Amino acid sequence: MKLRNLILASYAFALILVMTIVFFSVKYMIFQTEIAYIVSLIMLVACTIAFFFSYLLFLPTLRSITKLSKHSNQLARGHFEPIANIRSPKELAELARDFNYMTERLAESFAQIKKSEDEKNTMISQLSHDIQTPITSIKSQIDAIMDDMVSGDEKLLYLESIQNQAMRLSQLSTELLDLTVTQERKKQKPTSKKVWIDKTLVAALNSFQVQIKLEDRPIEIDLDDEVLFVCSDEEGVNRIFYNLIANALKYSPPGTPIKVKGKSTGDVIQISIQDFGIGISEEEQTHIFERLYRVDKSRNQKYGGTGLGLYISQEIVKTLGGNIEVESSLGHGSTFTVNLPIKH
Ligand SMILES: Nc1ncnc2c1ncn2[C@@H]1O[C@H](COP(=O)(O)OP(=O)(O)OP(=O)(O)O)[C@@H](O)[C@H]1O
Ligand SMILES: [Mg+2]
């Protein structure tokens, strides 16, 4: 029953009670009939007026209760709006305060859950993306061995490279398992250690050595003497180089060179990877680092890919305190430059 009807019922009950008493008083001649009429009339008028006054007094309470109920419904639907302007009655004002506190805490917890869910999803898509590179590399190296394209001496080199890629795959799948099975992201900060630029670049290029050989690609590496190492996260730097070299090879035709240059500007090391391929228009250059963005879908059907490589590289380089720049012109090629602080 609604509160308004409850008030009405209580006054109706009081009226019926008085009328019954008056009726029996007349019956046993305690009252005269005229007096009974007057008393009844006075009671009726008094109860009606009292009802309206009580109703007016209860109106703020009724409004507060309606507000609380509306906000509870909204909360159930995931809208974390606080309740404003409930001052009376005191008990409801306290309830509203508690409700607001609960809403605030719930909003915080939900934001936290969503953030860690987003982080987890990003990590899973990044790891799934990175697993592709060693798989492709292993496949092409095994194909080359099976097709007898590798001489006896080179075979050992290829097998070593396959072993390295397999180890990398196992490392990536462990990370993926951590995320999907234990539902926990590795909380520890990436370890900062000396990452030798030449060694890391050669390791990244080695992953593509079969493709480089099959496509007859000249690889030019030109590192200034000061370009030695950065104190950074080795795995992160690796992933950036892998992704940029993969793109340079993917978006330039066989036979064209890939140039890797390195220079140092005091406390920053600049590594640029240049290709002489299809290039990227100026307008597209502003979007290529976005998640899942791929330039002109029809053009890209030919190349395959998910549009994650540059996004991942950009995210990693940001955590390492650096940035990636692009210079490109359509039909002539692109240069991606990674700026990494020597000490992070
Ligand atoms: N060196 C390059 N030359 C020309 N276009 C490039 C180059 N690098 C990136 N792009 C363009 O930028 C887009 C985004 O690159 P990104 O590496 O993020 O994704 P992808 O290569 O399409 O897929 P994947 O997730 O497998 O790396 C690509 O689709 C491509 O069109
Ligand atoms: Mg890519």
Q: What is the pLDDT along the chain (344 residues), one digit of tens a residue?
A: 787 888 889 999 999 999 999 999 999 988 888 998 998 899 899 989 998 999 898 888 888 888 889 999 999 998 998 888 887 788 888 999 999 999 999 999 999 999 888 888 888 888 888 888 889 889 888 988 898 888 888 888 888 888 888 988 888 888 787 776 655 545 555 678 899 999 999 988 988 888 898 899 999 999 999 888 999 998 889 889 999 999 999 999 999 999 999 999 889 999 999 999 999 999 999 999 998 888 876 565 667 677 888 988 998 899 999 999 999 999 999 999 999 999 87
How far, in Å, CA of 94 to CA of 102, rounded?
12
Three-class DSSP category at 48: helix
Q: What is the pLDDT of residue 180?
A: 67
Ligand at minimal distance from the CA of 130 is 1
Q: Residues 240, 313: contact at Cβ < 8 Å?
A: yes
pTM of the entire structure?
0.69
Give the distance (Å) from ligand 2 centre to CA of residue 130: 10
Best substitution site from 122, 137, 251 to test ligand 1's pocket, by max atoms within 8 Å of Cβ?
251
DSSP 249-313: HHTS-TT--EEEEEEE-SSEEEEEEEE-SS---HHHHTTTTSTT--S-HHHHHTT---S-HHHHH
Select 191-344's CATH number: 3.40.190.100, 3.30.565.10, 3.10.20.30, 3.30.470.20: 3.30.565.10
Can you give the residue ranges of every domain in the chain?
Answer: 3-79, 191-344
Q: In this structure, is the dihedral angle defined by the CA atoms of residues 262, 263, 264 and 265, taken in order, positive or negative?
A: negative
275 lines ligand 1 (CB under 6 A): yes
Q: How far is CA 13 from the centre of its chain?
A: 61
Closest Cα to atom 8 of ligand 1: 247
Three-class DSSP category at 77: coil
